[in-house]
């Protein structure tokens, strides 16, 4: 039976931990001579409705490193649900490739793609969540600290798709999660309800605040993201008036633990949600985190396409 990667919520804590350990193994293997071609002869289609630097390059190179092949399909080539129904796209492409990665606007589009496809489908981002990023974030934390369980992870800013997946994987793995942002920009209630169930099982603590200073107290990880995500440009000016108190700057970082690390999924709008001093400073894991997209996604691909 095929397995998809549509949401962190679909995987058990044990499965996620096993995949984190696999990602670390694959990264170490790559650094010491290269990965084994476990996906030799396998092809991955990359369907993009939204542009991306990290998602495209990291998935393509992950397939190359594992001996497979990936190719990009632009919005002009596949109009999901427009030129052709999603069900038809899924059934046609399933006869050509071994897996599909889709980066979409509407979460239901990737859900429907997975429903009709005969091959594994990976969610490369939707308006609801970003599980490939969330898994990478957990991998970066795991690699740096040796664990996720018991760590205090604080997300400062918009309760967006990145925040949803980070919340879910931290709660699943027993980390403590705090969100702080302005009123009206909270993480969706559905995502919080799911996370509360995960936290009850793992013993993690969840907090949802509006005070960034209270939120970063005792933080091991401070995470931020752009104030204006793709598709929200119409409200950009409003957001830029509301979010400045939630900037991750040196003063805010100084209120956390001395060994705190700072993360951002990129692209960063420097001078808005994060300052140069922090992004390029000693606490920053931004670029290791970006590079880890490739290694974390190798684990996802190895699991779904290679049977590991």
Please identify every residue annotated as catalytic: 103, 130, 133, 225, 265, 293
Alpha-carbon distances, residue 220 vs 20, 33, 188, 194 (angstroms):
19, 33, 24, 23
**End-to-end Cα spacing for the chain:** 14
Q: How far apart are CA 127 and CA 107, in angstroms?
A: 6
Whether the CB-CB separation of 306 and 66 falls below 8 Å is answered with yes
Whether the CB-CB separation of 137 and 265 falls below 8 Å is answered with yes
Alpha-carbon distances, residue 61 vs 54, 100, 156, 292, 299 (angstroms):
10, 15, 31, 12, 13
Alpha-carbon distances, residue 278 vs 10, 89, 162, 254 (angstroms):
34, 44, 20, 10
209 - beta bridge partners? 180
Q: Are strands 176-180 and 152-156 parallel, antiparallel or unpaired?
A: parallel
């Amino acid at each position: 039976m095929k397995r998809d990667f549509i949401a962190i919520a679909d995987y058990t804590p044990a499965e996620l931990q096993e995949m984190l350990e696999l990602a670390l193994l694959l990264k170490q293997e790559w650094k010491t001579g290269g990965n084994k071609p476990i996906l030799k002869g396998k092809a991955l289609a990359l369907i993009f409705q939204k542009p991306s630097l990290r998602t495209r390059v990291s998935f393509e190179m992950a397939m190359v490193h594992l001996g497979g092949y990936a190719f990009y399909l632009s919005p002009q080539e596949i109009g999901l649900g427009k030129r052709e129904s999603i069900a038809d796209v899924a059934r046609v492409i399933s006869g050509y490739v071994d897996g599909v990665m889709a980066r979409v606007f509407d979460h239901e589009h990737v859900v429907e793609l997975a429903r009709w496809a005969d091959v594994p489908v990976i969610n490369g981002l939707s308006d609801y969540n970003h599980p490939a990023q969330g898994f990478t974030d957990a991998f970066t934390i795991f690699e740096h600290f040796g664990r996720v369980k018991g760590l205090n992870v604080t997300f400062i800013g918009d309760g967006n798709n990145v925040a949803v997946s980070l919340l879910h994987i931290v709660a699943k793995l027993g980390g403590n999660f705090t969100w702080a942002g302005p009123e009206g920009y909270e993480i969706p209630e559905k995502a919080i309800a799911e996370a509360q169930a995960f936290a009850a099982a793992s013993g993690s603590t969840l907090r949802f605040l509006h005070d960034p200073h209270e939120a970063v107290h005792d933080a091991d990880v401070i995470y931020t993201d752009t104030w204006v995500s793709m598709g929200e440009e119409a409200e950009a000016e409003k957001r830029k008036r509301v979010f400045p108190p939630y900037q991750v700057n040196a003063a805010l970082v100084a209120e956390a633990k001395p060994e705190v690390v700072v993360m951002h999924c990129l692209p960063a709008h420097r001078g808005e949600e994060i300052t140069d001093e922090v992004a390029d400073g000693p606490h920053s894991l931004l670029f290791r985190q970006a590079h880890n997209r490739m290694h974390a996604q190798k684990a996802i691909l190895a699991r779904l396409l290679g049977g590991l």
